[in-house]
Structure 1
Amino acid sequence: MKLPETMRCITVPEPGGPEAMRPATAPLPVPGDDEILIRVQAAGVNRPDVQQRLGLYPPPPGASPLLGLEVAGEVAALGAMASGFFPGHKVTALCNGGGYAEYVAVPAGQCLPWPHGYDAMKAGAVPENFFTVWANLFDIAQLQPGESLLVHGGTSGIGLTAIQLALAHGARVFATAGTSEKCAVIERYGATAINYKEQDFGAVIHAQTEKRGVDVVLDIVGGPYIQKNIRALALRGRLVQVAFMQGARAELDLMAVMTRRLTITGSTMRPRSPAEKAAIAQSLKHKVWPMLEKGIVTPVIDKVFALEDAAAAHRLMESSAHIGKIMLHVAD
């Protein structure tokens, strides 16, 4: 495959609103020894992209300065030590950055084959949400069959992924959303919906669990939700923080943590080492890919935009009106 010297991409010359993003032309990335170069067909849009665009979430050292944490496409070239794939292989990948472009270099361990029967758009909607949910719900929180889970932001990409994976593993799931339409979606996927604008989620949890509480809370809100989450947890419950849309600071009643032996934890995906991400990828390949291929769980796509319309995609993300994933079409 003869590669071009330049590629289309989206840049952010200065931090700002969605209008700060600019279609541009840049040189092709050069894959490192352990990387593969992917010709991107589809790229996912995620909340960390918005934070990076605003100048609040800088890429880690050595990562591409371009936005974009997940892609699907075909292998265009390999670094000297990269293995497991060949040019032309269809792959989906968790990127360290650089996904809003026609080509991106990604550590080989963070790449996986498309699930059988998937196209580029559907495959590209998998990595960020499934890596995040698997690592936090199952590696960190150790959610078990028969336990209960509360998911905030139930119709986000993270939320719908968590609902499906938890139910597939035999857990009981509650999820919050702010409209009747979104609550109906949550119910269709098999979870108990709580409209947080009309109901106190803590009161609903206590009523539904005979005052026991839930075993795990997966939260993207932070701020004022943190103390409420603690009150909603059962004995030896685990609060897992994966984002903080309403702030990273809160006042806590640590007595409840101590007397009920609670765990407060959380993680971000981007700063993890390539080895950690590769280990999560292998867990997904063996434990989740069969469920994707059988249709037991599936990524949910709300809307697809052209790469050049990334600003419109970010406006939709910031509106929170979407249900599931927002995607960019980069190439056929």
Structure 2
Amino acid sequence: MAPDTMRVVELQGFGGPEVLGVAERAIPQIAPGEVLIRVAAAGFNRADVSQREGQYPPPPGESDLPGLECSGVVVATGDRTTRLHMGDRVCALLAGGGYAEFVVVPEEQVLLAPESLDLVDAAGIMEVAATVLSNLAPGGEESLPLPGSAVLFHGGSGGLGGFGIQLGAALGLTVYSTAGTAAGVQHCLELGAAAACNYRERDFAEFISEETRGIGVDFILDMVGAPYLMRNLRSLSPEGRLAIIATLGGSEARLDLRLLMQKRLTVEGTTLRARPVRGAHSKAEIVAAVERVVWPLISSARLRPAAPLRMPLDRAADLHAAHAERSLPPGKAVLVADPTLA
């Protein structure tokens, strides 16, 4: 039985980590087709920082709380739910609301948690898995790169890039990555990257050219944006594809169309949070693909996602501050709401 109120971490304005404050709110009301989850932990993502800074608002009608993924236990189900039941251990893709003790979410965005993972590690899977897979294979599993294909995941020391390395390696791809520290580079290699580059010490386009003997990679997942655009295009092989999922370094850049045409390249821009719940290219389709592609890799231990940095939900501001100071260790970070569920 759920209580009437819950602890949350809310935005008490926009700005630095200090705007994150612990508060008490009413438990969210469940609607038909939704489940109510008692949150074990919520994954920390760079998108949470953008929302805190006022640059990434939630879609209309969604929770104003940060948090795009969580794990926990189903404590109630709404009308028209068919797959999930009270007591199920689950992880969920959210449009917001993860920084709380309870969250409601459409059933289509929830999966039973892999049995091999504790719930805290499971908290950091859904957002990164859905983002990586939907960009690596935008046409579904049949569009996955063939084994041996070369791919580049920027930000390999973070949760998103790190998961991309693991997934790519598990699928038999030749994975390259970038990181900003020596420890980050080592982390990429330990996750399965064939090679990794410290972008503060070396131009990553030169690194890719050397590693691939001038051929380039078939796919790049980028979250930096403008400063990386032309170097990304130079790093692609003919008919290669660049997916841009964020613009941390800026959103406006000059583009040499001749290079795009000569190499027959594809540049795509995508987001996940604002996609519809159901229908074509929806969250439901992506989550179902995660279950079909990623879950078997976890069950067979070919992919071992983990959340090495765990902090209590009440210390969300401290976690954001450590991220701002670049003092977080490599890997995925999560905020633990209920350690008894782990």
State the TM-score, normalizing by the size of structure 2: 0.94
Classify the secondary structure of the residue corresponding to 1:85: coil
CA shift for structure 1 position 36: 0.4
| Inter-partner Cα distance in structure 2 for 1:101 and 1:34 | 21
Aligned to 2:227: 224
Residue of structure 2 equivalent to 1:195: 198
The answer on whether the counterparts of 1:44 and 1:70 sit within 8 Å (CA) in structure 2 is yes
Q: Is the 1:217–1:233 Cα contact (8 Å) retained in structure 2?
A: yes
**Which segments of 5 or more consecutive residues in structure 1 lack a partner in the other structure?**
none
Residues 316 and 322 in structure 1, CA contact (< 8 A), matched pair in contact too = no
Of 150, 174, 187, 1:172 maps to: 174
Q: Given that residues 242 and 267 in structure 1 are in contact (C-alpha distance below 8 angstroms), is that contact kept between their aligned partners in structure 2?
A: yes
User: Residue 291 in 1 paired to residue 297 in 2?
Assistant: yes
- SS of equivalent to 1:244: coil
Partner secondary structure for residue 226 of structure 2: coil
Q: CA deviation at 1:298?
A: 2.1
CA distance in 2, matches of 1:243, 1:218: 10
Instruction: Determine whether 1:270 maps to 2:273.
Output: yes
- The CA deviation at 1:283 is 1.3
Q: 2:317 aligns with which of 295, 311, 322?
A: 311
The answer to whether the Cα contact below 8 Å between 1:301 and 1:323 also exists between their aligned partners in 2 is: no
Q: How many residues align?
A: 331
Shift in Å, 1:168: 1.5
Q: Are the equivalent residues in 1 in contact too, given 2:122–2:306 (CA < 8 A)?
A: no
Q: Cα distance, 1:117 vs. partner?
A: 2.1
List aligned pairs for 1:101-250, cutoff 5 A: 101-139=100-138, 142-191=144-193, 192-250=195-253
**What is the rounded CA distance, in whole Å, between the counterparts of 1:195 and 1:10 in structure 2?**
34
| Aligned partner of residue 137 in structure 2, secondary structure | helix
Q: Is the 8 A contact 1:299 1:324 kept in 2?
A: no
What CA distance in whole angstroms lies between the structure 1 residues aligned with 2:107 and 2:297? 23
Between the aligned partners of 2:236 and 2:23, the Cα distance in structure 1 is 48
Query: 1:10 is matched by which residue type in structure 2?
Result: V
1:13-162 alignment runs, 5 A limit: 13-139=12-138, 142-162=144-164
Deviation of 1:181 after TM superposition, in Å, equals: 1.3
Aligned to 2:332: 325
SS at 2:138 equivalent: helix
Compute the displacement of 1:131 (Å). Answer: 0.7
Distance 1:135 1:319 in 2: 30
Please tell me whether the aligned partners of residues 223 and 247 of structure 1 are also in contact (alpha carbons under 8 angstroms): yes
Q: State the alpha-carbon separation in 1 of the partners of residues 333 and 272 from structure 2.
A: 19
Distance, in Å, in 2 between the alignment partners of 1:232 and 1:18 is 36
Q: Percent sequence identity over matched residues? A: 40
Which runs of 5 or more residues in structure 2 are unaligned? none
Instruction: Note the alpha carbon deviations across 1:249-289, whole angstroms, 9 max, x for none.
Output: 11111110011100000311100111211111111112211
